[in-house]
Structure 1
Amino acid sequence: MAKTPAGSARAYPADAVELSEYFAPQRTSAAVLPDPEPFVRNITRGVLEVLAGVREVDQLARWLMEDPYRKLVTRANLAARARSARGIPAKRPVHQIVSVRHSSPADGVVEAVVVVRGIARTRAVALRVEGFDGRWRTTSLALL
């Protein structure tokens, strides 16, 4: 039973609960998903381009869950503000992916670390990707 704003109890029909579960994102087994390494490489490149200011974060929205998307938007805005304050224009980053390491702690879940070498420094990108609705989606993202 759920409470309405007035505080009275209200019962939802069982069909409504089943429908909400049916339309929620559905987990996908790794057996039907493609190899995760190209996805991990591409999402890493995309994230670095967003932070450099040459790609819109909305272009990655399809492959990011809500939490990593919001964090990336915040970080991209801070990077844009810092570039603006210093008068530095956005330019395409030059990066080389040094290594990709990934493991699967559960079916349809991959945790990966991508080491990326740039002109000024080497960085690590840690990702957790999970299979939802027949494709990989990033559920956690950290740029170190």
Structure 2
Amino acid sequence: MSTAAIPRTTAESTVLVVKPVPLLEPLDEPGGTVVKMPSRIRQGTAQLSPAGTVPATKVQALDPEAAERATVAAMSGRIAQSAVEVLNGVRSVHQLSRWLDARCMSSLTTRARLHAEACKAVARRGSHEALENNVHLLHPQPVVHSVHCSCISPGIFETAVVIADRTRFRAMAMRFELSHGLWKVTALRIG
């Protein structure tokens, strides 16, 4: 036995019904294609309901912000990684000027300066030990663990990023707004 697809048209749509049919031709014919279906699929074939309509199925609505959400999520991961590198003193804060607005730039600059001063004080205390052992500290690259993005309104997204930095995890929250065709970070919080 084989199966055949028979189209049936109702008033609103066309339904494809699969029914078992006796096999009249040999299976090894060069021009034909044979598809073997598992028995559970053969038994659960689509059929018309007694009223002649298609059974109700759940149809997922298309997400109109899906493309923007993917773009903003990718940007927020890169911006978060760059912001942590700015705090570690590996990257200049001016490299983020295209994506951060003026308030975020000034707050990140201030925080990076304060963090650098605190690190210098710690380095001065441990400088004698480092000279004796001739140890050089490397700056490991921060790793983005997760990005969560949600649409607040058209043209505005908020993201939460979890990032691993040296020996601890950091959380960042960002607000992206679409301005003149470019996404800008208008709010930035680093934990």
In the superposition, the TM-score normalised over structure 1's length comes to: 0.72
* Cα 1:108/1:55, change in 2 over 3 Å: same
1:95-134 residue pairs with structure 2 within 5 A? Answer: 95-134=142-181
What are the superposed Cα offsets for residues 36-56 of structure 1, whole Å, 9 maximum, x if unpaired? 111101110110000000111
Q: CA deviation at 1:35?
A: 1.5
Instruction: Name structure 1 gaps, 5 residues minimum.
Output: 1-28
Distance in 1, matches of 2:178 and 2:137, equals 33
Percent of matched pairs sharing the same residue:
35
Q: Is contact 2:81-2:143 (8 Å) kept?
A: no
1:1-144 residue pairs with structure 2 within 5 A? Answer: 35-87=71-123, 91-144=138-191
What are the superposed Cα offsets for residues 90-109 of structure 1, whole Å, 9 maximum, x if unpaired? 85343221111010111111
Instruction: Name structure 2 gaps, 5 residues minimum.
Output: 1-64, 125-135
Distance in 2, matches of 1:87 and 1:123, equals 22
Distance in 2, matches of 1:103 and 1:141, equals 15
Distance in 1, matches of 2:169 and 2:69, equals 30
* Cα 1:96/1:136, change in 2 over 3 Å: same
In the TM superposition, structure 1's runs of 4+ consecutive aligned residues that sit over 4 Å from their partners are 29-34, 88-91
User: Cα RMSD between the aligned structures?
Assistant: 2.5
Paired residues in the alignment total: 116
Larger Rg: 2
Distance in 1, matches of 2:93 and 2:137, equals 14
Which structure has more relative contact order (CA 8 Å, sep 6+)? It is: 1
